[in-house]
Amino acid sequence: MADISMNLYAIILMVAMFQSFLFVFIIGLRGFKENNHSDFILALLIFIMGLSNLPHLLGWLGIGVLWNEFTFYPWNGLELAVLPTVFLLLQSRLNSLRLISFRDLKNYWLYIIYFSYHLTIAIQGKEFAKWWWFEVNNYYNIDAIFSFCNVVLFFFFINRFFTVYSKYQAWSANYYSNLPPLSISWIRNFLIAYFIFILVDGSLTIMELLIGAQYDKMWWAYLANFVLIYYITIYGLSNIPNKLVEFAVAEISQNEKKVEEVTTPPTFTNHEINQWKERIQDYIEKNQLYLNPELRISEIAQHFSINVSHLSTLINLCFNQNFNDLINAYRIKIFTQKISKGQLKNFTLMSLAYDSGFNSKTTFNRAFKKYAGMSPSEYLKNEVKMS
């Protein structure tokens, strides 16, 4: 057995890897206790990123078992599975009920090809695998091609990220009276930071194939990988998945476009629109539905025994605004009435906002500025001047 070479580089990587697996346990445990599948996917992402550093760590320790005994087996290349897993994480944050399914494997096509390629060569035997590694794989820079494909793949996933998120914003505005508190900007930031990482990692891979091993430079790349693990772990733990959000991320395909055409809500005459406007307005105002911070369009649809998507279309036609804006307009009106009555003398600004049906300061400020054209503080200053 080869002597283990302990050094500062190896110790730092060992500590970081231990912490990454500890993060996997902590997040996985939270997911188990709260029955939250999003945490399991986050734990999977951290596990993949942590495990991808293992070959380099063993190299710094002077342990060559992977290279000598498992020559060319797919113990490397896990970084190719990171981007698909990040996209699964995004989907699970937007829909707490979403489970990983077999069809999700199509997102891992690059890693599957890499895994199959390496496994096919490795099972031919060590001698053949070593020959292939140096005479074919390195000669044609095949692993560098995989790294290049991973860089290209980033643009595909970042485009999907913004497409899905924009669809979520439109969907939530039509179905929720208060937008569910949800922060996924940290996932976007992670994607951008990870893109920089794979650019550096890919460049070092090309250098290794062209001019030889660059272990000292690769160490910094793997250390950066652990920094990314810390980042996504901290934000993943602090941003608890919202179980109220059930946005199904639909794949854009010809079949789905046909389904959308079939399920398009029927058209309404002007007379029908005016009738529905009175009915919806009367029901909302008589029951003061806007005071319920958890109000969803499905509750109103159930009262009228109408399809949710049809009601959403009707609200846009009747009021020239989505469901979220409609209900928030009522809430802002109630809030301003409370201010006019001098209730701010006995209550705080936010307590009046909560009593008007809002569920967070961020939602209130955004809605107020959209409705009144100014911030709440600016509005109060104007009220003071006029009084």
What value does the mean pLDDT of the chain take? 85
Would you say residue 214 has pLDDT above 60? no
Copy the structure tokens of residue 205: 């891979």
Quick: pLDDT tens for 127-152.
999 999 989 998 888 988 898 898 89
Question: CATH 1.10.10.60 residue ranges in the chain?
Answer: 270-386
Among 14-18, 40-44, 214-218, 311-315, the minimum mean pLDDT is found in 214-218
8-254: CATH class: mainly alpha
Which H, E and C letters describe 161-185, residue by residue?
Answer: HHHHHHHHHHHHHHHECCCCCCCCH
- As a three-state string, the secondary structure of 54-74 is HHHHHHHHCCCHHHHHCCCCC
Helix residue ranges, H only, 37-108: 37-51, 54-61, 65-69, 82-94
Taking residue 145's Cβ as centre, other Cβ atoms within 10 Å add up to: 11
Q: What is the distance, to the nearest Å, from the Cα of residue 126 to the centroid of all Cα atoms in its chain?
A: 41
Q: How confident is the model at residue 247 (pLDDT cuts 50, 70, 90)?
A: confident
pLDDT at 251: 45
Question: Where in the sequence of the chain do the CATH 1.20.1070 domains occur?
Answer: 8-254
Q: What is the pLDDT of residues 148-201, one digit of tens each?
A: 898 899 999 899 888 888 888 888 888 888 866 677 888 988 988 988 888 877
Each residue of 192-204: pLDDT tens digit? Answer: 898 888 887 777 7
pLDDT cut 70: percent of the chain above it: 89
Determine the average pLDDT of the residues in 35-41. 90
So what's the pLDDT on residue 350? 92
**Is pLDDT above 70 for 345?**
yes
pLDDT of residue 209: 60
**What does the block give as tokens for 327?**
């209900």
CATH no., domain 270-386 = 1.10.10.60
